[in-house]
Chain A
Amino acid sequence: MDDDAVVGLLKKINENLEELGRKMDRMLKVQESSRPTAKAISSGEMPLDVDTLLSLPDHLRRTAMAICTLGEATATQVAAETERARAAESDYLNQLVSLGLLKKKRKGRDVYFYIER
């Protein structure tokens, strides 16, 4: 292989590396923007996916997991799932509602918590 061919090849490799670098930057940007932030969560923009679950404090995560499992449930049903006090669960559920992660609705005398899809 003559020198020109080698130089050409090196130039091509360099171009490819630069393109790769740009691609990585774009990927990082996308990743950055998809990560949940406290602000995004509290503004109700974040879906209750597993990423959001992982970013919640322990006590709220267990409650949120229970709703993910049950689909739609009252504080009593959640308390049975988490084996914690109903009053505590009721408080945590309402915190999740004010974070915009859950919705609640009344059916007769019961209040049901659910994830809006």
Chain B
Amino acid sequence: MKTISLHSYKGGTGKTSIAANLAAIYARLGQRVCLLDYDFRAPSLGVLFKPNPKFWLNDYLDGRCEVDAALVEVGEGLGLKGGIFAGFADPSTKAIREMMTKDRAWEMGALHRTLSAKRAIQKKLGADYLIFDTSPGIQYSSVNALASSDAIALVMKGDDFDMEGMKEMVRGIYDVLGRKAGIVMNKIPMGLIGGEGGGMAKAIEEEFKIPVLGVISCYCELMAMGGRSIYALDRPDHPFSRALEELSKRIAEM
């Protein structure tokens, strides 16, 4: 099983959308994919799948259930050869507040439970891929997910200027954990791709000393959907879907 974290320094870079599309692409190829929403501060995977889970991932981390009880099969009816099993973060205000006030002892337990979940998902679910959609920055939940991953995809937008902050995160966390990492440049203005985009990717690679896995253009029609469509399934011929397909191959090879 390959475990991947979608991470970013700042919010709104497209982690959730990329995570869901990657899950769909792998599942379409016949793989069993587990997708976990580890963004406990701003849960957003639920917007896409509108789940009604018996347990949230919060319940699992709090020790109220086993991890499989918090997973919902969301791939049914999507015409996938494989399957998508998703775990959701509780979007209620109370749960978000609660997660923000956890102490270090609790986070220590959460790291252990995240690592245990990974084992259970591999053994019980027979998953081929485990994908963590994380919170931006260095939240505990995110770093717990990063520590449990084999590979990290750092998603950045065309207007992310805080290169120093991002570099610090790559050096201080990705490198220290010894994880394979790559950058996904997302929402890049169309005019820059191919022309300056190529130069931009090269500059980023030199700056961060990790490869650029993909450069994805900015599409207004995608934003208009507000994260309610999995483009790779709904419009497989769309350039965004094709870019994601390329990305899925690069990530699988990491």
A residues whose Cβ falls under 8 Å from a Cβ of B: 34, 46-51, 53-54, 58, 61, 65, 68-69, 71, 115, 117
B4 CB, min distance to chain A CBs, angstroms: 18
Nearest A residue to B176 by beta-carbon distance?
Answer: A54
Q: Which 5 A-B pairs have the closest CB atoms?
A: A49-B108, A47-B108, A69-B115, A49-B107, A50-B143
Q: Report the number of A-B residue pairs with Cβ-Cβ less than 8 Å.
A: 47
- Whether B144 pairs with A50 at a CB distance below 8 angstroms is yes
Interface of B is mostly: helix
Residues of A contacting B176 with CB < 8 Å? 54, 61
- Whether A34 pairs with B112 at a CB distance below 8 angstroms is no
Partner of A49, one of B115, B116, B140, B177: B140
- Whether B115 pairs with A68 at a CB distance below 8 angstroms is yes
Number of interface residues of B (CB under 8 A): 19
Q: How far is the CA of A63 from the CA of B173 in the complex (A)?
A: 17
Q: How far is the CA of A50 from the CA of B111 in the complex (A)?
A: 7
Output the residue of A50, A58, A65, A115 with the most chain B CB within 10 A. Answer: A50
B123 in contact (CB, < 8 A): no
B70 in contact (CB, < 8 A): no
Residues of A contacting B109 with CB < 8 Å? 117
B191 in contact (CB, < 8 A): no
A41 CB, min distance to chain B CBs, angstroms: 12
A22 CB, min distance to chain B CBs, angstroms: 20
Residues of B contacting A34 with CB < 8 Å? 104
B147 in contact (CB, < 8 A): yes
Q: Which of B102-145 contact A (CB under 8 A)?
A: 104-105, 107-109, 111-112, 115-116, 119, 140, 143-144
Residues of B contacting A51 with CB < 8 Å? 104, 107, 140, 143
Q: How far is the CA of A51 from the CA of B172 in the complex (A)?
A: 11
Partner of A50, one of B105, B107, B116, B178: B107
- Whether A68 pairs with B111 at a CB distance below 8 angstroms is yes
Partner of B104, one of A49, A54, A115: A49
